[in-house]
Each structure stands twice: as C-alpha cells, then as structure tokens.
Amino acid sequence: MIYTERQGKLIVNNIEKVFKQRDISVLSRQAYTFIIQYMAFIAHYNLGQFQSFYADLRLLTSELQTSEYSDDPDYNLDWADELERREERGDTGTQGADKAEIIRQIVAIARQYEEEIEQDFAERERQLDLAEVKRLLEKHGVEVTT
C-alpha cells in the first residue's frame, strides 16, 4: 500500500494526539495498523489489546523509536533509511519513501514527548503508590494525615 501525504498526516497527527492527551484509547485503527506493519511491532491480537499493553505511554514512546525487538534508539530511523534504499534499488516499487517519512515523523514525535510523558506517568505512579500506602496504613489502624 502506498500512503498519500494526507494519510501520513492523519497517522502522525493521531499519534501526537495520543501523546498530547496522554491517552492510548484515542489511537486510531489506521495508526495502529501502520505501527504494526511498518515499525516492527507485534499485533497484540487487536487494537484493544495493543492499547491495553501500551496504556503506560512511557513504553510506547520508547518502542516507537526502538521497535519491540531492539534496544537501539535509532532502530526505526535506520529502518526508514533502509526502506528508502530499497525503493531506490527498485526492491519495493514506490512503497518505501512514503513509509520512511511517516516513520521519521512518528519517531520525532515520540522523542518530543518522551520526557514529559516520563515525568507525568512517574507522578501518576507515585500518586497511586501513596494512595496504596495510605489505604494499607488505615487498614491496619494507623491514622494518616496529609
């Protein structure tokens, strides 16, 4: 499939929306399909399972750069370069550069939001931990003041 510029923008904008809203549930089927087909992700059975697996967006920001199979932060950028080389050699017809550009934009967005998301989700985790500590202390008769 060849992706038009408009389709690429829809995918990239949707992924940015996920990060802006800090909500994986807004990930579109089109963006999900692109990620699993062209960015070395497994399908996780379906979109719902993928969303459940990546509810903590810290993992998604990382793996959009590295894929699920690597720890190299440039893995998907290198893959984008390879897609372009394949198109230049005629290995993929005209089906390389369109995907390469979308991949680069997705990686750039993941990097743009990575630090903010790390901080936000770490704070969410901290608040949940504190609430659990408070619940356990109160369960055992310890008065907690905040």
Q: For residue 94, how many C-alpha atoms fall within 13 Å in the half-sphere facing its CB? A: 3
Judge whether residue 91 has pLDDT over 90.
Answer: no
pTM confidence score: 0.87
- At 94 the pLDDT is 60
Task: Please choose, from the candidates 64, 56, 75, the residue with its C-alpha nearest in 3D space to the C-alpha of residue 11.
Answer: 64
Q: Of all residues in the chain, what percent carry a pLDDT higher than 70? A: 97
Q: Which has the minimum average pLDDT: 24-33, 36-45, 64-73?
A: 36-45
Q: What is the residue extent of each domain of the chain?
A: 5-113
Tokens found for residue 128: 């949940």
- Lowest-confidence range among 79-83, 126-130, 142-146? 142-146
Q: What angle do CA 9, 119, 53 make, to 5 degrees?
A: 60
Whether the predicted pLDDT of 93 surpasses 70 = no
